[in-house]
Amino acid sequence: MAGPHKLGGELGLLALVLVVGLVLASPAVLLLALPIAVHVTLGLLLAMRRADLRVTRRISNHRIHEGDDIQVELAVENTGGGLDLVLVTEQRVLANHMLEGATSSAEMLPAGGTLTLSYRVQPPRGFYPLERVPVHARDLLGFITWEDDLPCLSSLWVFPSYDPLGRVGLSPHRTLSIPGTARSRRGGEGVQFFATRPYIPGDSLRHLNWKALARRQQTVVNLYEEERAAEVTVILDGRHRVYQPLGGSEPFEHAVRACAALCDSAIRDGHRTGLLLYGERLEWVFTGSGRMQRERLLQGLTKAELGFSEAFADLGNLPARLFPSGSSVIIVSPFTPGDEEALGMLHARGYDVLALVLEPPPLHRAERTALALASRLVALERKAMLQILHSAGVRSIVWNLDNPLQPLVRETWRRRP
């Protein structure tokens, strides 16, 4: 019995002993009420000293990637009166992914004492705002109890893990005036041969085409295609229904990691990169460049979730007008029949469109025949969709989730138009 129930019980017992002693006119019985009265009085005096607890949390790293673990120390300091029992419980979002240690403890906490929890945790991708800590406390004689969520402001970012991709082949119709790796479709300084033109006094002699001079007695110079920075928008398809045939959340995590690798590659190549999360709602990370932009992109992907919305049930509602004109658009999705029309429209509007198509791993022979037949029908639909995309001028990469993404991107870079 604790708290008000215990106080009420002891007061009732005290009243009963007093009544019995008075009725029986027995000093011995009345004397029995003395220790009960002393206990109640002392308990009330101790309960008047309000509990004063302070919580601090130390995290070894506030910014990690999937698969990394962190060490957390939670300390509860008692700056008020002594407490008979203090129960501290860490938030469930961390306790559910603990590797070792303890995320809850109940101990006696004297005045000036400290209760410490230490544990190691490996949380999945996500943003964890750790703002409060649930604490239950009881005074020394158990007459008063406290329950409160004490403030303890901290946060944890668990970014998606990914492997560097290297260069991604981009061929936008419009480039920026700063160096990069996108083909600009214009002659100048570069490494890829573009065209020749007659020599003009002042041209660098190292660009002379000596073979043309020897064979045709014509003085011409070689032009090389300039490589400049471009504007890139990476779109993560978060529609729940398109991932159901692949198994749900796990393929979506692959898509998130692929988007993180693509954003990282584009930023490293000097491109202005943005991110659009398309699912239950539209979430934008507007285009930018540099290390801070890379951090914003990863934070946006960290919060990505599957969802459903009638307004964004298909890709036909992509806000194409908000994409930079003539830029590159990379869409990561399993895609469903009907999405190819939206991608073809994007290409027709002058965007360089690259579709990264997520493909489920092949079924084992032990699978049921009906399931294997359904999988084959889905594969045939996907093949027909890819043929339509190819005829519309949209480049595509089919990614089997059992295989690494880097070799596929490297091959696409070599085959870029």
Predicted confidence (pLDDT) per residue in 234-290, tens digit:
999 999 888 887 777 889 999 999 999 999 988 888 888 999 999 888 899 998 888
pLDDT value for 224? 59
Find the DSSP H helices in 85-209.
92-95
Instruction: Identify any residues that bridge with 332 across adjacent strands, giving them in sequence order.
Output: 236, 356
pTM value is 0.76
CA 55 to CA 78: how far, in whole Å? Answer: 9
Question: What are residue 351's phi and psi, to 5 degrees?
Answer: -95, 145
- Which H or E run includes 215? helix 210-216
Helix, strand and coil in the chain, % to nearest 5:
35, 35, 30
pLDDT value for 269? 83
pLDDT value for 311? 78
Please give the biggest Cα pair distance in the chain.
138
Q: In terms of C-beta density within 10 A (0-12 exposed, 13-18 middle, 19 or more buried), how is residue 389 classed?
A: buried
Q: Cβ distance 104 to 95 under 8 Å?
A: yes
CA 364 to CA 45: how far, in whole Å? Answer: 73
Instruction: Identify any residues that bridge with 400 across adjacent strands, giving them in sequence order.
Output: 359
Of 2.60.40.10, 3.40.50.300, 2.40.50.460, 3.30.9.10, the CATH number of 53-159 is 2.60.40.10
Q: Cβ distance 273 to 262 under 8 Å?
A: no
DSSP code per residue over 273-329: EEEEEESSSEEEEEEE-SHHHHHHHHHHHHT---B--STTSSGGG--GGGSPTT-EE
End-to-end CA distance of the chain: 79
Crossing angle of the two packed helices 369-391 and 339-348, in degrees rounded to 10: 20
Q: Cβ distance 98 to 121 under 8 Å?
A: yes
Residue among 132, 74, 126, 133 at smallest CA distance from 97: 126
Structure tokens at 296: 């914003």
pLDDT value for 303? 93
Cα dihedral sign, 168-174-180-185: positive
The separation between CA 281 and the C-alpha centre of its own chain, rounded to angstroms, equals 16
pLDDT value for 28? 74
Coil, strand, or helix at residue 247? coil
The segments of the chain whose pLDDT lies below 50 read: 1-3, 182, 184, 187, 365-366
Structure letter (DSSP) for residue 125: S
Of 3.40.50.410, 3.30.70.1400, 1.10.3720.10, 3.40.50.1110, the CATH number of 231-414 is 3.40.50.410
Instruction: Identify any residues that bridge with 188 across adjacent strands, giving them in sequence order.
Output: 224
pLDDT value for 302? 94
